[in-house]
Amino acid sequence: MNSLLILDDEHVVRQSFADYFEDNSWNVVQAETAEQALEILETEKHCAALVDIRLPGIDGNMFIREALERNIKMAFIICSGSPSYCVPADLQNHANVSDTFFRKPVENFAALELDVRQAIAAAG
Amino acid sequence: MAQKRIAIKLVKTSVAIAFIVGLLLSALQVYRDYLQEEKALSQVVNRILKVAERSATASVHTLSEELSKEVIIGLLEYDFIHQASIVDDLGNLLAEKKRPQIESSKTQWLTSYISEQYQHYSIELYPPSVNADTPGKLIVIVNGDTALASFYSRSLVVLVSGIVRIIILVLLLFLAFHFIITKPLTKLSHEFKALNPKDLNAKLHTPLGHDDDEFNFLTESANLLIGANHQFIHELTESNAEIAESESRLKTLVETIPDLIWLKDPNGLYISCNQYFERFFGAKEAEIVGKTDYDFVEKSIADLFRAKDRAAMDAQQTTANEEEVVFADDGHKALLHTLKTPMLDTQGNLIGVLGIARDITEIKQTERNLQAAEERYGTLISNVPGITYHCACDAHWTMAFISDEVESITGYPASDFIGNTVRTYASIIYPEDEKLVDEAVQLGLNKHRPYIIEYRIITVNEDIKWVYEKGKGVYDNNGKLERLDGVIIDITERKHAEVEVGQLRNYLSNIIDSMPSIIIGVDIEGTVTQWNSGAEQSMKLSTKEAVGQPLNEVFPRLASEMPRVKEAIISRQQQNDKKRSYLNNGVHAYEDVNIYPLIGNGVEGAVIRVDDVSEQVRLEEMMIQSEKMLSVGGLAAGMAHEINNPLAGMMQTSNVMINRLTNKNVEANKVAAETAGTSMEAIHDFMEQRGIIRMLSAIHDSGERVAGIVDNMLSFARKSDDAYTTHEISDLIDKAIELSSTDYDLKKQYDFKSIVISKEYEDDVPLIACDSGKIQQVLLNLLRNGAEAMQEAEVEHPEFCLHTYYDVDQNSVYISIKDNGTGMDEETRKQILEPFFTTKPVGEGTGLGLSVSYFIITENHGGVMTVESELGVGTNFIISLPVSNSSQ
């Protein structure tokens, strides 16, 4: 079973993602902060992470970099509510980071799920 | 008195002389008497002593005191012997007897003064038998006083008798003098005294008894003198009368002379002055005489007067000077020319200074005026900037006189021309102009009017100069032409200036014509005086046609500016009417009207400058619009994240809800339904019945709308990342039309196909580099809006006019999308591009569509988008896109 880490400080948004993926048979773990997510990843292994960028403490970009540095093998899909956000070049070109960047609100969950799957496949 | 004086004088003199002489003689006699008396006394005493010697010697020899006594007694018999004594050879007194002291006589003081009262006489006694070394002595003391007694009494008689004699003589002399001299003199003098000097026959009479002496001579001499005196007095009286008359005349003369005349003594004290002078001091002559200048004028002036007086006296001749003075009587100032002459008496002694002063104030003023007039005249003549001449009216214009100025103009000296000495004036006239000069002069002479000619001359340097000549004929009494008088002025510069003015005028009119503005000159009545090419083009009216016409006829839209024109002329202040709007072929245009008053030169009027500022106004409007949108964009960017998160919460949750409530394929749903004792079908039926699915959709749609608004707002701030590609603009339009027709068919029950679409795509429109998606968004938006507007207006024959063309000057492609909808008023037109402005009912449109379109065109593509609209006619959106799009 595919497992997904959802990192978002906005509880309602995080829960809506979690509900959808759980309904579609994903093993979902939630983290409110990047620190919390890193802690989880120390003990658990997940196929992919859906990452919000604006977070209290370490932001989404730093979280991905940190995770990559720790050689954690998983796919990262970025989803942000900020309209001016652009994926930094180092992350954009990384194989483990999805090419598609999702903007909140996400209207089409099916498309998102498909992208997550593709990203996991791409990350190997 | 006189007689007494003479008598006393005579007596005094006689007495003194007689006294002195008599006394001297008497004294001489007394002295001689005294000397004889003295000698006689001494002889007497010595004889007595001789007599007594033998007896005395014997008494000494015998030392007989008795004998001695006898001798002594014998001696004392003489009354003049005062004391006698005999002393022996041993010094013993043998005998002595002294007469008793009698009363001192009255002559004792005299005796002791001239001689000694007691005189010692002694003889030595040598007795024959005795051989002694020391003899005895017989000593006698004589009383001088007694001895001289008889002498004294004799002398007294001599002196007294002498004095008496003198006194008698004096008395006699006195009487003689009185009767012989004093008395006739007194008589004569009385007569002289009583003499009436006016009695011509009066004369003196010789005193009686003096007919042949000096008195007679004296009388006759006096009578001669009296006669001469009478003559003199007579003559004096006559001359006095003459002098008085002459003095009176002189006085009248002095008083009537309009000069100040005065006379001062050498010390500066006034002796006399005339009436005019009185006015100067403001005092009467009587008050002035005896006083000095210092009593009437200030010290400094008085010092000056005195100094001048002294100068005249020292120089011993008349001196002249000028003084500015103030008259004391009425205070008027006057300039005096003063002559000061030292006055001498007949002996040549200085007796004073005569002053004569003339008031030359007016003379001086006249002199000055005359001088000034002469100077002016002289200056005038010398400043005449031309040649003055007298010449004969002949072929050479033979000069009788020509002023020196001719040299500075022609370079030839005046002497050359006078009498045609070196050259004729005719010879320097420019050959072509000779005839002109000749004719002009003849014409003037014929009409007896001055002639005025402008012609050229050739100077010594062979330069050509223009001159202006004005002259006229001078005729003698018989009306015969005598000569020509005139002036010739160098006007070369003026001629040049005229040419320059012509060029300048041309130059200025070229400048005025070359200006893009409309420039119109008007007078105060509003009549056109100037009309430049800008005005010609704008009004399609040539300058010739416009000038002289009323402004409101040739330029109707400026008619309303006439009050401002008048205000500018009256107040002499520039008047402006900025951004005046007017309809230019149905399009709103803007112009600035500036009115400048024409000041000076006696021209009353104004210049109106009209500048087309439509483009500027539009640009300004656009700028404002862009600013607004950018600020909205900035706001949106800040808000978007905050809105997106809750929106995501809402929408994503509703998505999950729909999925859980309706999706039968989800295993969890089925499990949950069964656990709840129902089935997915039942739930679905329930929701269908209660409209829950519709409600969830409503939530979703509303969320989408909010997301759309946020997204649109963000597009004001966000630069497109899309790459620009080149497109045929007509293709983009066609695609947009296609999209529009499908879009509207479905949702709005409005048949887009019912709209007539006329396309006018020009051939030479180049390709455009643009973000095709964004441009399509704009086109769609405009078509949609236009269609809605026409639908609302219920236009019978809705029509879109789509026109594309290329402007070479701007290097831009233009797209015009024109509908025949309701159009809009000016107020709406100005706001139509503003964010959130909408004419649609609430809920039917975000009010961002046009703003976003505007933003895409102007900010993203560097183009221009404008709206033209007329209420009830339609709206025209014009988009221009630059061909060489280097901004992106």
For residues B518 and B535, the answer to whether their CB atoms sit within 8 Å is yes
Closest chain A residue by Cα to residue B645:
A81
Q: State the average pLDDT over residues B409-419.
A: 89
Retrieve residue B872's tokens.
């009830």
Q: DSSP secondary-structure letter at A84?
A: T
Chain A closest-CA separation from residue B645 CA (Å): 6
Give the nearest partner residue to B666 out of A16, A23, A103, using CB atoms. A23
For the stretch B283-319, pLDDT in tens is 888 888 888 888 888 888 888 888 888 888 888 888 8
> What pLDDT shows up at residue B132?
57
| B778 compared with B888, residue with greater pLDDT | B778
pLDDT at B719 over 60: no
For the stretch B602-644, pLDDT in tens is 678 899 999 988 888 877 877 777 777 777 777 777 788 888 8
Neighbours of B206 (CB within 10 A): 18
> What pLDDT shows up at residue B2?
46
Residue B35: pLDDT band (50, 70, 90) is confident
Question: pLDDT > 70: what percent of chain B?
Answer: 92
- φ/ψ region of A116 (left if φ > 0, alpha if ψ in -120 to 50, else beta) reads alpha
**CA nearest neighbour of B336 among B318, B320, B351, B352:** B320
Chain B closest-CA separation from residue A13 CA (Å): 4
Most confident of B52-66, B551-565, B590-604: B551-565
> What pLDDT shows up at residue B373?
84
- Taking an 8 Å cut-off on Cβ atoms, the answer to whether B669 and A84 are in contact is no
Pairing of strands B136-143, B81-87: antiparallel
Residue B4: pLDDT band (50, 70, 90) is low
> What pLDDT shows up at residue A30?
95
CATH fold, domain A3-123, is Rossmann fold (3.40.50)
| B36 compared with B715, residue with greater pLDDT | B36
| B473 compared with B196, residue with greater pLDDT | B473
Residues 6+ away with beta carbon under 8 Å from B158 = B26, B29, B30
For the stretch A24-71, pLDDT in tens is 889 999 999 999 999 999 999 999 999 999 899 999 999 999 999 998
For the stretch A73-88, pLDDT in tens is 899 999 988 877 888 8
B230, with CB counted inside 10 A (0-12, 13-18, 19+), is middle
The structural domains of chain A, with segments of one domain joined by +, span 3-123
> What pLDDT shows up at residue B697?
86
Q: At CB < 8 Å, which residues of chain B contact A?
A: 636-637, 640-641, 644-653, 655-656, 659-660, 663, 666-669, 703-704, 707, 710-711, 714, 718
| Mean pLDDT (chain B, rounded) | 83
Give the nearest partner residue to B718 out of A25, A54, A83, using CB atoms. A83
> What pLDDT shows up at residue A6?
95
> What pLDDT shows up at residue B304?
86
CA distance B796 to B328: 115
- Taking an 8 Å cut-off on Cβ atoms, the answer to whether B703 and A105 are in contact is yes
Please report residues of B whose CB lies closer than 8 A to that of A84: 637, 718
CA distance B158 to B166: 13
For residues B187 and B207, the answer to whether their CB atoms sit within 8 Å is yes
Cis peptide before A88 (omega within 30 of 0): no
Entry pTM: 0.39
pLDDT at B59 over 70: yes
Chain B closest-CA separation from residue A18 CA (Å): 10
pLDDT at B746 over 50: no
Give the nearest partner residue to A16 out of B640, B656, B666, using CB atoms. B656
Q: DSSP secondary-structure letter at B105?
A: P
pLDDT at B387 over 80: yes
CA distance B798 to B786: 10
Q: DSSP secondary-structure letter at B858?
A: I
Closest chain A residue by Cα to residue B663:
A23
Chain A closest-CA separation from residue B711 CA (Å): 8
CA distance B118 to B139: 12
| A3 compared with B737, residue with greater pLDDT | A3
Please report residues of A whose CB lies closer than 8 A to that of B656: 16, 19-20, 23, 109
pLDDT at B816 over 60: yes
For residues B799 and B819, the answer to whether their CB atoms sit within 8 Å is yes
State the residue for tokens 């483990």: A96
For the stretch B429-440, pLDDT in tens is 999 999 999 999
- φ/ψ region of B287 (left if φ > 0, alpha if ψ in -120 to 50, else beta) reads alpha
Please report residues of A whose CB lies closer than 8 A to that of B707: 105, 107
Which regions of B439-574 does DSSP assign to beta strands (E)?
Answer: 451-458, 464-475, 481-490, 518-523, 528-531
- Taking an 8 Å cut-off on Cβ atoms, the answer to whether A13 and B703 are in contact is no
Residue B747: pLDDT band (50, 70, 90) is low
Retrieve residue A91's tokens.
């992350």
Q: DSSP secondary-structure letter at B535?
A: H
Beta partners for residue B245, in sequence order? none
| Mean pLDDT (chain A, rounded) | 90
> What pLDDT shows up at residue B451?
92
B481-513 CB burial, b ≥16 within 10 A, e <16: eebbbbbbbbbbeebeeeeeeeeeeeeeeeebe
- Taking an 8 Å cut-off on Cβ atoms, the answer to whether A105 and B640 are in contact is no
> What pLDDT shows up at residue B888?
38
Chain B closest-CA separation from residue A71 CA (Å): 31
Give the nearest partner residue to A83 out of B640, B653, B669, using CB atoms. B640
Give the nearest partner residue to B645 out of A20, A84, A104, using CB atoms. A104
Residue B844: pLDDT band (50, 70, 90) is low
For the stretch B482-501, pLDDT in tens is 889 899 998 998 888 988 99
pLDDT at B887 over 50: no
Residues 6+ away with beta carbon under 8 Å from B185 = B2, B3, B6, B215
Please report residues of A whose CB lies closer than 8 A to that of B668: 22-23
Please report residues of A whose CB lies closer than 8 A to that of B673: none
> What pLDDT shows up at residue A26?
92
Chain B closest-CA separation from residue A110 CA (Å): 11
> What pLDDT shows up at residue B381?
60
CB pairs under 8 A between A and B: 82
> What pLDDT shows up at residue B539?
87
pLDDT at B87 over 60: yes
- Taking an 8 Å cut-off on Cβ atoms, the answer to whether B645 and A10 are in contact is yes
> What pLDDT shows up at residue A8?
93
> What pLDDT shows up at residue A93?
86
Q: What is the ipTM of this complex?
A: 0.88
Q: State the average pLDDT over residues B858-872.
A: 85
Q: At CB < 8 Å, which residues of chain A contact B?
A: 10, 12-13, 15-17, 19-20, 22-25, 54, 81-84, 103-107, 109
CA distance B742 to B402: 107
